[in-house]
Structure 1
Amino acid sequence: MDILSIVGVIIAFVAIIGGNLIEGGEVSALLNLPAALIVLGGTVGAIILQHSGAVLKRSLIQFGWVFLPPYINFQAGIEKIVGWSMVARKEGLLGLEEVAENEMDPFSQKGLQLLVDGAEPESIRNVMELELGSREQRELNSTKVYEAMGGYAPTLGILGAVLGLIQVMRHLEDPSMLGPGIATAFVATIYGVALANLFYFPIANKLKGIVHEQSLFREMMIEGVVAIAEGENPKAIELKLKGFVDS
């Protein structure tokens, strides 16, 4: 569980609601169903139109990373690679066949399988870097869903404000209708700007950071597998990969 994400959400809510209360406002003044429908519904509709089903599905999976990010342990990865190199030195590359069958990570498993098949180091690097680039691009495309939401929400907030003002103008002769119309106008703007800057953009940036960290971990795996293919000493491999931890 990522405690900082939870703390960030709480602080965002407290800041907005607390600021409103300090100014003498009421929490109920920030609750407006038509404004929420315009901003949230319009944003969801826009991103569904913009993105494919596969991208949207991945973005929903990635949303869980905000509070439960995938566990990435560089030190454990280094120890795993060093263990592979020791097996390779003792039993040869074919000794990694059983290791490859038991490896849970598909990316690492592919590298091990290439080692077992006797692929050249440069060939191993090319194959794994191609998969790394493709996977990273797919995952970054999914994070752009939240960037798009951050772009649409303020605009739809303005749209909600305009719609609210239209209602106000249509009922100038009826003072009882002025309040709800003006409320929708201003609350829709608040919803759009707040959602974009306190949630959508931060979520997108956090997910990008996780994707880049995963890519860095896979780059380390590539370097380790290639080093094994080149017959490097396990100690030398460990020292080389330590640079990923220090960075």
Structure 2
Amino acid sequence: MFAIIGLAGVFFCVFGGYIIFGGKIGIIIEALPKEVMIIGGSAACTFLIANSTHVIKQSLGDIKRIFGGARFHKKEYMELLALLYQILKTMKTKGVLAIEQHIEKPMESNIFNAYPTIMKDPFTVKFIADYLRMFSIGVDNPHELEALMEQEIEKVKHEGLHSSHAIQAVADAMPALGIVAAVLGVIKTMASITEPPEVLGKLIGGALVGTFLGIFLSYGLCAPIASRLKGIVEEENQFYHVIRAAITAHLGGYAPQVSIEAARKKVPSEYMPDFNELEEALSQIS
């Protein structure tokens, strides 16, 4: 919602302000098609040159995420903590073998399926199952398992940031591409140097539209999109740190309640349930 308001506000403030202060929008409109072709077209082509097919597809798919934001909010964190608590409690009271069937086939597990919000994210389910499986087959050193989880979490973050980096590279290139368009406009103007001042003025104004458009698209559109995508990836990445904290605390010998409290502290402040709220939710788990 705020992304839509922000984008609309950028266009309104820039073009609306230009018109209000006496600018002639006709010059911009007339020059826009060719400037968009030069700047937008060349920016799109450099994007294709600089990135792999996977990153291109990922970037195009991720742009729409700026309107929806991160996938994980308080509801998802509450379900995650409850799921982890139920798993750790089962391991503590019935032994590791009691959860073997659940981690081998999590999609068929009655424990996992009790938390439909978590089941909507296959990577989270796989992440939990994989590391519990490693524990069940003998990797019981909490430091070793924590290091492995940290590496995978960092890998997921690195791969998630590909879109942000790709779009930021386009944002960095656009002002220079705007100058290219402006220089081409000046070349065209110099070829018409014998024309009267009113004609030359119109040609120079059209050339300057290129510089304006390159800077506007860079700082008013592409850079904010890249920054927002980076923020979303970093926010979602914290979800997996919550899982890491719970599992490593359990491997350290702590009771399920203490392990989940350690995990709760990793939840982003805006979504973190307070101690009593979480305790009440966990007390309903059999």
TM-score, normalisation: structure 2? 0.78
Map 1:37-48 → 2, pairs under 5 A: 37-48=37-48
What's the offset of the Cα at 1:125?
A: 1.7
Tell me which residue corresponds to 1:91: 94
For residues 5-33 of structure 1, the C-alpha deviation after alignment (integer angstroms, 9 at most, x for no partner) is 11110111110121011112244433211
Partner AA of 2:128 in structure 1: S
Matched, 1:117 2:150: no
Q: Share of identical aligned residues, percent?
A: 26
Tell me which residue corresponds to 1:20: 18
Verify the 8 A CA contact 1:75 1:245 in the aligned structure 2: no
d(CA) in 2 for partners of 1:86, 1:28: 69
Higher mean C-alpha deviation, range 177-186 or range 119-128: 177-186
Unaligned runs of 5+ residues in structure 1 are none
Map 1:196-235 → 2, pairs under 5 A: 196-235=218-257
Q: Secondary structure at the match of 1:55?
A: helix
Verify the 8 A CA contact 1:150 1:195 in the aligned structure 2: yes
Matched, 1:108 2:117: no
What's the offset of the Cα at 1:197?
A: 0.8
Tell me which residue corresponds to 2:162: 141
Tell me which residue corresponds to 1:63: 63
Verify the 8 A CA contact 1:125 1:222 in the aligned structure 2: yes
For residues 65-85 of structure 1, the C-alpha deviation after alignment (integer angstroms, 9 at most, x for no partner) is 111234213333222221221
For residues 26-73 of structure 1, the C-alpha deviation after alignment (integer angstroms, 9 at most, x for no partner) is 444332111111111111111222222222222222212111234213
Partner AA of 1:107 in structure 2: F
Q: How much is the aligned-residue C-alpha RMSD, in angstroms?
A: 2.1
Aligned residues: 245
Verify the 8 A CA contact 2:85 2:256 in the aligned structure 1: yes
4+ long deviations beyond 4 Å? none
TM-score, normalisation: structure 1? 0.89
Q: Structure 1 pair 231/61, CA: closer, same or farther in 2 (3 Å)?
A: farther
Unaligned runs of 5+ residues in structure 2 are 113-121, 270-286
Q: Secondary structure at the match of 2:225?
A: helix
What's the offset of the Cα at 1:180?
A: 5.4
Matched, 1:185 2:188: no
What's the offset of the Cα at 1:179?
A: 5.3
Tell me which residue corresponds to 2:284: none
Q: Structure 1 pair 64/93, CA: closer, same or farther in 2 (3 Å)?
A: farther
Q: Which has the higher helix share?
A: 1
Tell me which residue corresponds to 2:117: none
Tell me which residue corresponds to 1:49: 49
What's the offset of the Cα at 1:222?
A: 0.9
